[in-house]
Amino acid sequence: MAQTTTLTLLPETAWYGNGVANIYDVFGNQQPAASYYLASQSLQTINISCLEVTGNISIQATLVSNPAENDWFETYRLECNAMATANTLPYFNSNAQLFTNITGSYVWMRAVVYDFANGAVQFIKMAY
């Protein structure tokens, strides 16, 4: 089945702080996941595009129709460090575009950038 729905979990978001003292968290809007409309759909493809990001990108989901904050759980985590080297683990080239598949019968999904210290998240999108 071809993927026909593309939703933005987080639009372009930039932050150029002055180090660790100026970090913050960014919460994207919740979007209906694949199982929101059809319970038989469970594959979501996530597309993340970053420029010089230092922070942790979390893709979160919920099984609840009307979720409270404690109903969200992490399905995928990406640690980005613009100052990382190949010897730093985990390492992600923070000037890249990444695709990953998340399988699960989720109702809602959202993106969160924790400890956002620097850079630009060009977008985080979900397709199914």
**Domain annotation covers residue 43:** yes
Instruction: Say yes or no to pLDDT of 84 above 90.
Output: no
Residues 40-63 pLDDT 10s? 889 999 999 998 888 889 999 999
**Using one digit for the tens of pLDDT, what is the confidence trace for 5-54?**
999 999 999 988 766 667 889 999 999 999 998 788 899 999 999 988 88
Give the pLDDT of residue 27: 97
Mean pLDDT of 63-72: 96
CA 60/CA 2 separation, integer angstroms? 23
37 in a structural domain: yes
User: Which of 39, 50, 31 is closest to 113 using CA atoms?
Assistant: 50
pLDDT at 91 over 80: no
Does residue 1 lie in a domain region?
no
Please give the model's pTM, rounded to 2 decimal places: 0.87
Please report whether residue 89 resides in a domain. Answer: yes
Q: What is the pLDDT of residue 126?
A: 97
Which pair of structure tokens corresponds to residue 48? 């993340």
Q: What is the pLDDT of residue 86?
A: 54
Its sign, for the CA torsion 102, 26, 117, 119, is positive
CA–CA dist 98, 78 (Å, integer): 10
Q: How far is CA 47 from CA 9, 59, 64, 68, 124, in A?
A: 10, 11, 24, 25, 6
What CATH number is associated with residue 20? 2.60.120
The number of folded domains in the chain is 1
Residue 18's pLDDT is 65
In a domain, 111, yes or no: yes
Which domain does 16 fall in, by range?
Answer: 6-127
pLDDT tens sequence across 94-109: 677 889 999 999 999 9
- How large is the C-alpha radius of gyration of the chain? 15
